[in-house]
Amino acid sequence: MSFFDEKAALSYDSWFQTPLGTLVDEVEKKLFLQCAAPQRGEKVLDLGCGTGHFSLFLAQMGCDITGVDISVPMLKAAREKSDNLHLPVHWIHASLEELSLEEESFDLVYSVTAFEFLKDPRNTALKAWNLVKKGGRLVIAVIGKESPWARLYEESARRDQNSVFEGAHFFTPEELMELLPGIKGEYFSGLHFGPGFDPKQQEEALRLEQEGVKDRKREGGFLCGIWKKM
């Protein structure tokens, strides 16, 4: 994920300030909280934290956060934001594939839209699972392969070989669950409106989300897999 340079870091954060980005952020965080159920004081690991968007969200909830990313510009942006907010987040510069931390040391390990860019996502998922304490959770959120969002990003990669989505792999629900074969988990599906949706139509967005989450529709743009270690 080293191609996430300073320009990408700025673009990533600024998109969440747009009307559509704000709506998407609200939907994704709601589903993530439903899956991850983070609690104040829990020790939490964010794999592929980027600019700290989710790390800081959980830090503000009182979680003890460690964020890991391979992109120096992304981590720089994350560190600046945590400093400005006076939030004590531990940032680590490392690739997810080569990360070495004490096993069973986190209550919650999660990753949001980072596994799409890994060479060996299954091995990384197993390493992440080994970091989860007994009684803890692993949550992996990805871009749904059958969604209009994935089609948009695939088209971006076809048009521009320098796109951050060049070589990205999006996931079907089955592929997401197969990251940890033999370990029982479940997935939830969110973001059931496309990139052309009018963000002013919030009631319609809410209706689409309620329907999509209830029916666990495959076409959601944001798939959350959760595994609980008993």
Q: Which residue has the tokens 């060479």?
A: 119
Confidence of residue 160 (pLDDT cuts 50, 70, 90): confident
pLDDT tens profile 206-221: 899 999 988 888 999 9
pLDDT tens profile 91-120: 999 999 889 999 999 999 999 999 999 999
Distance between CA atoms of residues 8 and 72, nearest Å: 11
| Amino acid 7: pLDDT | 67
Q: Which residue has the tokens 């994935």?
A: 150
Paired tokens of 182: 């033999």
Structural domains in the chain plus CATH codes:
6-228 (3.40.50.150)
| Amino acid 2: pLDDT | 42
CB atoms < 10 A from the CB of 181, how many? 9
pTM assigned to the model? 0.94
pLDDT tens profile 27-86: 999 999 999 999 999 999 999 999 999 999 999 999 999 999 999 999 999 999 999 999
| Residue among 59, 18, 207, 48 at smallest CA distance from 142 | 48
| Amino acid 1: pLDDT | 41
Query: Please, are residues 204 and 195 in contact by the beta-carbon 8 Å criterion?
Result: no
Mean of per-residue pLDDT scores for the chain = 93
Distance between CA atoms of residues 104 and 102, nearest Å: 7
More confident residue, 12 or 55: 55
